[in-house]
């Protein structure tokens, strides 16, 4: 059987596991081939060229080969462009990686999602608090929306999911894991129909992450909080957990 070889593929390392005393198993998000598993032989040796390169949240080009479920890494090159995020921004980057590991099927390409991920990582790398912190939060919400849409878990945001009736711009609606988008009860934290419709339009643009980020950044504090809580509930539901590990880590650190 001929060996399948991929060269110079844009990629990010999502996670890494010890495989032997000298090697690693990598979970990698690639632009054209989706999430794949690679073995990096000898990557833990001090003399390995892989050792300083195979880091999370860093843009890479990788080459690999093989036909097994776990391919063999042949080469990896750091593409530069930004420094590693630090502090809370670093934990936010790990949160994005956890979402991708839980929700992306192996070898299912999502080029728009890959490009959006690259944008968010750049935002996180430049996050130093203050106004940047608000941009950081908006970028996370935009990525969550894009991810849910790309994997088919986000209902259309300009109609009532049950009735398929167009949203009323001034009426209030909530996004519910088992029911989709529905009219909100009086006591529920919700977004106006016009806000949901605007989010649907941005997700349909050629550069959906950037467009959605701009839209989320214009929301009021109340609308932003409602969107965050509803997206978090939807993500937890589809990930099958009550709290993601990285979110729990953030809470634990904030409690110190």
Mean pLDDT in the chain?
92
- The pTM for the full model equals 0.92
Task: Tell me: do 68 and 95 sit in the same domain.
Answer: no
Collect all residues with Cβ–Cβ distance below 8 Å to 177 and sequence separation of at least 6: 233, 234, 237, 238
Strand partners, 17: 25
* Domain termination residue (choose one: 21, 48, 78): 78
* Domain termination residue (choose one: 48, 78, 108): 78
Q: In the chain, pLDDT over 90 holds for what percent of residues?
A: 82
φ, ψ of residue 198 in degrees (nearest 5): -65, -40
- Please check the confidence at residue 97 and state whether its pLDDT lies above 60: yes
Number of H helices, E strands in the chain: 7, 8
Domain containing residue 220: CATH number: 1.20.1440.120
pLDDT number for residue 79: 94
- Please check the confidence at residue 256 and state whether its pLDDT lies above 80: no
Task: Tell me: do 62 and 188 sit in the same domain.
Answer: no
Residue 61 near residue 6 (C-beta atoms within 8 A):
no
Residue 58 near residue 84 (C-beta atoms within 8 A):
yes
- Please check the confidence at residue 98 and state whether its pLDDT lies above 60: yes
Task: Tell me: do 193 and 176 sit in the same domain.
Answer: yes
* Domain termination residue (choose one: 78, 96, 124): 78
Which of the 8 DSSP states describes residue 1?
-
Q: What average pLDDT does the segment 175-201 reach?
A: 96
- H runs (alpha helix) in the chain: 87-103, 111-125, 131-150, 193-203, 208-217, 221-239, 245-255
Task: Tell me: do 62 and 136 sit in the same domain.
Answer: no
Residue 24 near residue 17 (C-beta atoms within 8 A):
yes
- Please check the confidence at residue 252 and state whether its pLDDT lies above 90: no
Q: What average pLDDT does the segment 32-61 reach?
A: 95
Task: Tell me: do 188 and 236 sit in the same domain.
Answer: yes
Domain containing residue 58: CATH number: 2.40.50.140
Collect all residues with Cβ–Cβ distance below 8 Å to 151 and sequence separation of at least 6: 103, 104, 110
Task: Tell me: do 59 and 166 sit in the same domain.
Answer: no
pLDDT band of 49, cuts 50, 70, 90: very high
User: What Cα–Cα distance (Å) separates residue 147 from each residue in 16, 172, 219, 223, 252?
Assistant: 22, 24, 20, 20, 26
Q: What distance in Å separates the CA atoms of residue 23 and residue 43, rounded to the nearest whole number?
A: 5
- Please check the confidence at residue 72 and state whether its pLDDT lies above 70: yes
- Enclosing domain of residue 121: 87-255
Query: Which candidate, 30, 21, 96, 15, places its Cα nearest to that of 60?
Result: 30
pLDDT number for residue 251: 64
pLDDT digits (tens, 9 = 90+) for 111-137: 999 999 999 999 999 854 445 667 899
Q: What average pLDDT does the segment 223-228 reach?
A: 97
pLDDT number for residue 2: 42
Task: Tell me: do 172 and 219 sit in the same domain.
Answer: yes
pLDDT number for residue 207: 94
Residue 192 near residue 172 (C-beta atoms within 8 A):
yes
pLDDT digits (tens, 9 = 90+) for 123-180: 999 854 445 667 899 999 999 999 999 999 999 999 999 999 999 999 999 999 999 9
**What is residue 48's three-state secondary structure?**
coil
**What is residue 106's three-state secondary structure?**
strand
Overall number of domains in the chain: 2
Q: What average pLDDT does the segment 229-244 reach?
A: 91
pLDDT number for residue 1: 38
pLDDT number for residue 124: 94
Collect all residues with Cβ–Cβ distance below 8 Å to 19 and sequence separation of at least 6: 25, 39
pLDDT digits (tens, 9 = 90+) for 101-110: 999 999 999 9
pLDDT number for residue 64: 97
Q: What distance in Å separates the CA atoms of residue 178 and residue 31, rounded to the nearest whole number?
A: 31
Task: Tell me: do 53 and 92 sit in the same domain.
Answer: no
Q: What distance in Å separates the CA atoms of residue 105 and residue 103, rounded to the nearest whole number?
A: 7
Task: Tell me: do 108 and 196 sit in the same domain.
Answer: yes
Least confident of 7-16, 82-91, 213-222: 82-91
């Amino acid at each position: 059987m001929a060996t399948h070889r991929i060269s110079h593929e844009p990629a990010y390392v999502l996670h890494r596991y010890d495989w032997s005393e000298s090697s690693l198993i990598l979970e990698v998000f690639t632009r054209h081939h989706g999430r794949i598993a690679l073995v990096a032989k000898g990557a833990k040796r001090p003399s390995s060229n892989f050792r300083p390169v195979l880091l999370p949240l860093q843009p890479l080009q990788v080459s690999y080969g093989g036909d097994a479920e776990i391919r063999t890494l042949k080469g990896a090159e750091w593409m530069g462009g930004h420094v590693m995020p630090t502090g809370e921004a670093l934990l936010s980057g790990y949160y994005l990686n956890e979402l991708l590991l839980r929700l992306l099927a192996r070898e299912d390409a999502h080029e728009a999602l890959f490009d959006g991920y690259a944008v968010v990582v750049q935002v996180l790398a430049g996050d130093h608090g203050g106004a940047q912190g608000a941009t950081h939060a908006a970028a996370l919400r935009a990525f969550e929306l894009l991810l849910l849409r790309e994997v088919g878990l986000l209902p259309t945001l300009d109609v009532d999911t049950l009735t398929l009736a167009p949203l009323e711009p001034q009426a209030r609606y909530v996004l519910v894991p088992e029911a989709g988008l529905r009219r909100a009860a009086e006591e529920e934290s919700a977004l106006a129909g016009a806000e949901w419709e605007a989010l649907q339009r941005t997700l349909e643009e050629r550069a959906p992450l950037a467009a959605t980020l701009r839209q989320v950044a214009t929301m009021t504090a109340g609308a932003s909080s409602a969107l965050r809580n509803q997206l978090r509930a939807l993500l937890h539901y589809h990930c099958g957990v009550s709290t993601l590990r990285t979110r729990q880590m953030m809470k634990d650190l904030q409690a110190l």
